[in-house]
């Protein structure tokens, strides 16, 4: 497994989306109140059905790793309507006493070239640094309960997506539910919502009729997120229009883990969907075709997940 420490020290060099500087929704830079979209009522463990069939993937690809258009076959599956939230993850931790990767000190045996004193629990946070300005840093004590480090909390964020989860953490939550993480193929099929051949999950125009369809970055990246889409930072799950399958936030808000390796080496996994601060001028990975490699044991303040099941739920 690749070292989460070495990746953090490299500040995710080419991580192609970011989180807001302080991780909080503090309003516009000019002090004006944000015009919030209406958020859907949360229904825990609600899933949407994706029928079996042939699907065309890869439309709107921009980068080599995304490949071209291709036809795939899939069995039916059911994917979470919403990203997994802090409240749901807290219930899992309460029931199992699970400790996330970010909360554990790395094993010195896995990092022989690093002073053991430096191997402390923590995670990657985007924020303001006196020397580097706005960028990534490793923050001791940052984890899903303290998303920007010691002193922060999620007390008012029960319905926000859980972040600072590594692949192992997401997989453990899914297993606890009797579920799984989606494959890349399943994820992209679900993100397209039955709309094949389009660049975005809602069509060809990024902002149809001037509407924001996802929580992404607006403003001068990486310094100011103006919050024109309603949130200058992470949004609660379900605040933007769902796709035609009824799934919310497949694009933007947080990157989402899949169970698929990025390439044949298997050294990294794949996250999909772009984050809530992905910028048109910087990465433009807020598209169903976009994919990003990620070390399996890495966590950050812009990575979350959702789960799938492949047999009909009992309430179907």
* Per-residue confidence (pLDDT) for residue 29, from 0 to 100: 40
CA–CA separation, 68 and 275 (whole Å)? 23
What is the reported pLDDT for 107?
85
Among 124, 104, 132, 100, smallest CA distance to 6 is for 124
Determine the pLDDT at residue 133. Answer: 61
The per-residue pLDDT for 303 is 97
Per-residue confidence (pLDDT) for residue 37, from 0 to 100: 77
Q: What are phi and psi of 120, to 5 degrees?
A: -120, 155
Q: Look at residue 116 in the predicted model and tell me its pLDDT.
A: 85
Profile the chain (316 residues) by mean pLDDT over runs of 10 residues.
Answer: 41 36 39 68 84 93 85 97 97 98 90 85 80 77 96 95 98 98 97 92 91 89 84 91 95 96 96 86 85 94 97 79
Q: Which pLDDT score, from 0 to 100, does residue 68 have?
A: 83
pLDDT of residue 38: 80
Q: How far is the CA of 32 from the CAs of 128, 217, 239, 252, in angstroms?
A: 22, 17, 20, 23
Confidence (pLDDT) at 15: 38
Reduce the DSSP state of residue 136 to 3 states and report it: strand
With b for 16 or more beta-carbon neighbours within 10 A and e for fewer, the 39-78 pattern comes to bbebeeebbbebeeeebebbbbbeeeebeeeeeeebeebb
Task: Give tens-digit pLDDT for 92-113.
Answer: 999 999 999 999 998 888 888 8
| Per-residue pLDDT, 40 | 84
């Amino acid at each position: 497994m690749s070292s989460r420490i070495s990746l953090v020290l490299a500040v995710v060099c080419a991580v192609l989306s970011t989180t807001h500087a302080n991780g909080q929704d503090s309003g516009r830079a000019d002090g004006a109140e944000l015009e919030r979209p209406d958020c859907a009522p949360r229904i825990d463990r609600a899933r949407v059905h994706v029928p079996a069939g042939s699907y065309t993937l890869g439309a709107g690809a921009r980068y080599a790793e995304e490949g071209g258009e291709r036809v795939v076959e899939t069995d039916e599956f059911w994917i979470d309507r919403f990203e997994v939230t802090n409240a749901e993850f807290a219930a899992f931790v309460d029931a199992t006493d699970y400790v996330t990767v970010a909360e554990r000190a790395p094993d010195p045996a896995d990092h022989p070239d690093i002073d053991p004193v430096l191997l402390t629990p923590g995670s990657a946070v985007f924020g303001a640094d006196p020397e580097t300005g706005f960028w990534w840093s490793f923050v001791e004590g940052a984890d899903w309960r303290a998303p920007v480090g010691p002193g922060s909390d999620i007390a008012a964020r029960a319905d926000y997506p859980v972040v600072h989860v590594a692949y192992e953490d997401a997989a453990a939550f899914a297993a606890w539910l009797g579920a799984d993480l989606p494959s890349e193929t399943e994820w992209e099929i679900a993100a397209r919502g039955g709309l094949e051949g389009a660049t975005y999950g809602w069509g060809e125009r990024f902002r149809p009729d001037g509407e924001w369809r996802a929580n992404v970055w607006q403003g001068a990246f990486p310094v100011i997120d103006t919050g024109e889409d309603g949130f200058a930072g992470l949004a609660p799950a379900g605040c933007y229009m769902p796709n035609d399958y009824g799934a919310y936030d497949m694009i933007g808000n947080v990157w989402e883990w899949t169970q698929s390796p990025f390439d044949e080496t298997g050294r990294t996994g794949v996250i999909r969907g772009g984050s809530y601060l992905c910028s048109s001028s910087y990465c433009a990975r807020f598209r169903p075709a976009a994919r990003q490699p990620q070390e399996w044991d890495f966590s950050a303040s812009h990575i979350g997940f959702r789960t799938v099941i492949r047999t009909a739920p009992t309430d179907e």
